[in-house]
Structure 1
Amino acid sequence: MKISQLNTNRFRQSVDLTWELTFRNNVEIILLSEPNRGAVTGPTWVIDRCMDAAIGFPVARVPVAGNGNGSGFVWADLVDVVLISCYHSPNTTTEDFVGFLDALEKVVRQHRGRNILMAGDFNAKSPEFGGNVRNIRGNLLAD
C-alpha cells in the first residue's frame, strides 16, 4: 500500500497536485495537514472537526472499516492498519497542545494491539525527530 503525507499549507494547488500525483504514482492514500478546506470535500475524504487534517482515498478499492475525528486529527481503520493524520497549530498554548495529545492518546488506546501509522505536522521540534532544535512541544511529544 502506497501512502503519501504532506502539509499543504492550505494551498488548493498543493492539494490538487498531490491528488494528481497519486494517480501517476499509484498512491492509494493521502494524509494531509493544513489542507485547503474547499479541496477536501466529498466521499473520498475523511476530515477532522476543524478541517486541519485529512485522509484522502483517491482509489476506491481501499477498504475502510471505520473512521473518526477530533480537533486536529482524523483516523481511518483499514482493517490491517489504523491511519491517523494530524495537525496542531504553532499558535496555540502548551495547555492546548497537551489537550490535543491527550485526545490522540485516547484514540491510540482505543485501537490498542493494532498496527497504527500516525503522521502529521505537530509543530514540535526535537533531535529525536531529526532536527537540531528542541522545543516544549517536542519534549511533550517525545514523552
Structure 2
Amino acid sequence: MADTVGDVVIKNMSGRLALSFKTRTEGFVVAETDSTIIAGAYVSPNISIGDYEKYLDSIHRILSCESKNVIMMGDFNCKSRLAGSSYNNRKGELLADLMESLGYYCINDNTPTFEARGHCSELDLVIIDGRWGSDQYEWRVLDQDIASDHFAVKLIMKDGVLFVTMDRQLPIRPSAQQTERIVERVAYTHRNILEATPDTLTTIIQQEMDKEIRATNRRGQVYWWSDEIAGYRRALQKARRKKTKA
C-alpha cells in the first residue's frame, strides 16, 4: 500500500494481521485494522514552509474524523523538542501544532534515527493517539545495518500484539544484470516453482529481490577497511546513542 507518488509504503508482513487500505495522498498512506489506524508519512526536506503546512493540513483532514486509535510513523524532516531535538525549527512547531490539535504525542526518546557525515538527527518519528498509555507499547531504534543512513524503528503494541516496523532503505531499481541473477536464483533454489501459487511466487521473487538490492546497496569500502574497524564503528555508534539518551 503506497502513497500517490511511491515515497512511502505500508507492507503487511504478518499473516495474522488483517490490514486493509484506507486512503492516500502525496507522501501519506493510511491503512486500518479492526481497531487501529496505521499511517505512513514522508515529507521532503526541500519543500517550503508553506508546502509543509499544506502537507500537515492534509494529514489533519484525513485523521481528524477517525474514531480508532492511530499509529503514525514516518520521516517528517523537522527539528522538534517533542522528539528529543535540542530545538524546534518552524516545521517542528507546525508538527507540534498538528499533534496538539489531534490529541497525539510523539514517543521518540531522542535516540537518533538518522546519521550522515557524523551528523545525527531524530527525523523518523512515531506519533500515537493520546488514548494509548506508555505501558501499552515498546519502542526502540534498531542497530542493524539496512543499507541506509536511516535506522529502522520498531514499535510493539502490547494490546493486540501489533508489530509495526519502519525501514527506510536507499531506493534503487534492479538493473538488467540484477534481474537475471534474481531469475536464476529463483529457478535454481525453487525447483518446484511451477507448483507455486501466485501469492507464493510473488513472495519468493520479492525475497530474492530484497537480497539482491541489499547486497548491492552497501556503501563502498575503501582498501583499508577491515572487520576490526567495522567492530569499532558499531561500538562507537552504540556509545554515541547512549550518550545522547543520557
Q: Give TM-score, length-normalised by structure 1.
A: 0.64
Which residue, 99, 110, 116 being the options, matches 2:54?
99
Question: Offset at 1:128?
Answer: 1.6
Aligned to 2:74: 120
- The alignment of Structure 1 onto Structure 2 pairs a total of residues equal to 97
Deviates more, 1:77-86 or 1:60-69: 60-69
Alignment of 1:1-143 (within 5 A): 46-111=1-66, 113-143=67-97
Structure with the higher fraction of residues in helix conformation: 2
> 4+ residue stretches of structure 1 with deviation over 6 A?
none
Q: Give TM-score, length-normalised by structure 2.
A: 0.38
Among all aligned residue pairs of Structure 1 and Structure 2, give the percentage whose two residues are the same amino acid.
31
Aligned to 2:169: none
Question: Offset at 1:80?
Answer: 1.1
1:119 is paired with a residue of what secondary structure? strand
Q: Please list every run of 5 or more consecutive structure 2 residues that lacks an aligned counterpart in the other structure.
A: 98-246
Structure possessing the higher radius of gyration over alpha carbons: 2
**CA contact under 8 A between 2:12 and 2:19: conserved in structure 1?**
no
CA distance in 1, matches of 2:52, 2:90: 10
Question: Offset at 1:127?
Answer: 1.3
**CA contact under 8 A between 2:30 and 2:39: conserved in structure 1?**
yes
Question: Offset at 1:106?
Answer: 1.0
**CA contact under 8 A between 1:65 and 1:79: conserved in structure 2?**
no
Question: Offset at 1:102?
Answer: 0.7
The letter for the 2-side match of 1:60 is G
The letter for the 2-side match of 1:126 is S
CA deviation digits over 1:29-65, x for unaligned, max 9? Answer: xxxxxxxxxxxxxxxxx00011111101122332124
CA distance in 2, matches of 1:87, 1:127: 19
Aligned-residue Cα RMSD (Å) equals 1.2
CA distance in 2, matches of 1:128, 1:59: 31
Larger relative CO (CA 8 A, sep 6+): 1 or 2? 1
Question: Offset at 1:101?
Answer: 0.4
